[in-house]
Amino acid sequence: MFKVRSSNDISEISMFISNLNSQPKHHIGYCGTDAAEIEHTLLNDFSDLAFDESFLCAYEGESLIGVLGLDYDKETAEAELWGPFISNDNWQVVANLLWDTLLKNFPFPLRKVYGFYNVESLAGKWFMDLQGAKFEGEHSIMTIPSKNISLNLPTSITIDEIHDDYIQEFKALHEQEFPNAYFSAEEIISRQSEEQKLFIAAAEQQFYGYIFCEVTPEFSEGDIHFLAVSPTARKMGVGTQLLKKCLEFFSSFETIKEITLSVKSDNQAALKVYLNAGFYEKHRLKFFSLDRQKTS
């Protein structure tokens, strides 16, 4: 007999997700594999709702056997799925129970839901297909250990932190290249700090491109969130220059051990830049979108 309810035991939930997400057949993208980091995200950077409004747990007796969450954005009424993470032979039964209960009790409009499942996760694909989700393509999670970073890349373009002269060009390029991204241009600008940097490539009052990156020293990680080059500046090595600046920024933190980024698997130009810099593909994810307006 399975029971579904909310739980505020975030430590238990984080450990549960960590154990499953470390296995390719259970792996769901962008949720993390380190229990402490997952807990930090759930406590500080998960959903616009209270935790018990956006996360449900399934139990068999007193044993936690499944979790499902929605990282919800109130402004867009969109959410990224965290789960279903299930450690039970009745995967389909538990998954449907969690999903149906979460939707029934969800207190806000839900326009779109996004899911990112490892290509080895047959259960994840089945779950998305069952909901009528649309397959949007594949994403490659690329990584490089900090010890393998090479800064001996060619330099010909000046890269600086963004300043007022290029705000509008940055906004236009970001919206063009990453429509409906998890960070808007305004959010990126507002997030700039000692640990989050927005670098741009520009010369002679011409804007060439940008890169937005972040370090998390407490978890020894660096993340490249966005890199884009203006159409008129492509095949000029701008992407490589921006990447070099970002890697230099990461190298200034002694605790950083690994750098990670995500790129569409069919973006050959971007993949070439990352592979040439020493990145390799750690995971490949299937990306699905579920339009709730069509299914409600």
Q: Domains in the chain, start-ordered, CATH in brackets?
A: 2-131 (3.40.630.30), 142-284 (3.40.630.30)
The answer for residues whose C-beta is within 8 angstroms of residue 228's C-beta and 6 or more apart is 173, 174, 176, 177, 178, 209, 210, 211
Q: Looking only at Cα atoms, what is the longest distance across the chain? A: 69
**Predicted confidence pLDDT, tens digits, the chain (296 residues):** 899 999 999 999 999 999 999 999 999 999 999 999 999 999 988 999 989 889 999 999 999 999 999 999 998 899 999 999 999 999 999 999 999 999 998 989 999 999 999 999 999 999 999 999 999 999 999 999 887 776 665 556 778 999 898 999 999 999 999 988 888 999 999 999 999 999 999 888 889 999 999 999 999 999 999 999 999 888 888 888 899 899 989 989 989 999 999 999 999 988 988 998 889 999 999 999 999 876 55
Q: Is 19 left (phi over 0), alpha (psi -120 to 50) or beta?
A: alpha
